[in-house]
Amino acid sequence: MKREKNTLFMYSNYFPIFLTGGRGLFGSVFLKKNKKIKKQILAPSSSRLDITKKKEISQYLNKYMPKLIIHAAALVGIADCEKNKLLCKRINIEGTRNICSYAKKNNIRFIYISTDYVFDGKKGNYSENDKPNPKSIYGKSKLSAENIVKSLNDYLIIRTSFFSRKKWKYKEAFVDQYTSRIQIEELISKINKIIFTKFSGLIHIAGKRQSLYNIARKIDKKTKPISLKDHKDLNIPEDISLNINKWNKLLKK
């Protein structure tokens, strides 16, 4: 996918941009990587705007009339979603439904940040054509949200998984869970190549397949190894690595 140096400014017809999850890892790095257009990005905190309240969303967005929505807000984490099933449903499903409702009514391009956890992990190297079969509450909520997004006319669902090289927030990591997690700065750079285009549908953007423990050890040498065999109650998929052939072909166009 060939781009010119000033692409961000060339696509000013997508301004202003409404970004959810601006205080999270994805949102904070997105804002940092796009600091040249930061004034064109609306990124209210969850205390400023509750996405589970449809009326509140309409009132807020009617003031600014965004031309592009990037929906990254979610309740994440297998354990947290298992413990807070109702909250998970409210944020990940109903919150998405509320924002999609506004986007559909106002014909706004919609970018949804999804996850590799929509797959069951039985085979790995999942492509966009593979049928999702989530095992966890978190994965099921994200797949439900994907299906809501698909009702829109102009949408892009990006399945991915990412990490920060600055800090590994857990003391342990699974030696037998395989993933294609990508470093967050690299992910944002890649996403910037596609969100300001007409490309729509579904795409996987990810890194190379490796164990979660391998990723964690590169960030924190003190990370201890653990096994999925000892945490069967969490419904964690074994191999959710993503196939990115579609993305690689797109870059060559």
**Per-residue pLDDT tens over the stretch 49-83:** 999 999 999 999 999 999 999 999 999 989 999 99
**How many CB atoms neighbour CB 248 within 10 A?**
9
Q: How far apart are CA 67 and CA 41, in angstroms?
A: 11
**180-217: burial string, b at 16+ Cβ within 10 Å, e else:** bbbbbeebbebbebbbbeeebebbbbbbebebbbebbb
Domain containing residue 100: 7-162+183-206
- Side-chain half-sphere exposure of 159, counting CA atoms within 13 A: 30
215 domain residue, yes or no: no
87 domain residue, yes or no: yes
Q: How far apart are CA 23 and CA 44, in angstroms?
A: 8
Q: What percent of the chain has pLDDT over 70?
A: 96
* Res 8 pLDDT > 60: no
187 domain residue, yes or no: yes
Q: What is the DSSP string of 194-219?
A: TTTSS--EEEE-----EEHHHHHHHH
227 domain residue, yes or no: no
Write down the pLDDT at residue 4: 42
Contact 10/36 with Cβ under 8 angstroms?
no
41 domain residue, yes or no: yes
Q: How far apart are CA 225 and CA 190, in angstroms?
A: 31
The CATH number covering residue 92 comes to 3.40.50.720
pLDDT-derived band at 235 (thresholds 50, 70, 90) equals: confident
Q: How many domains does the chain have?
A: 1
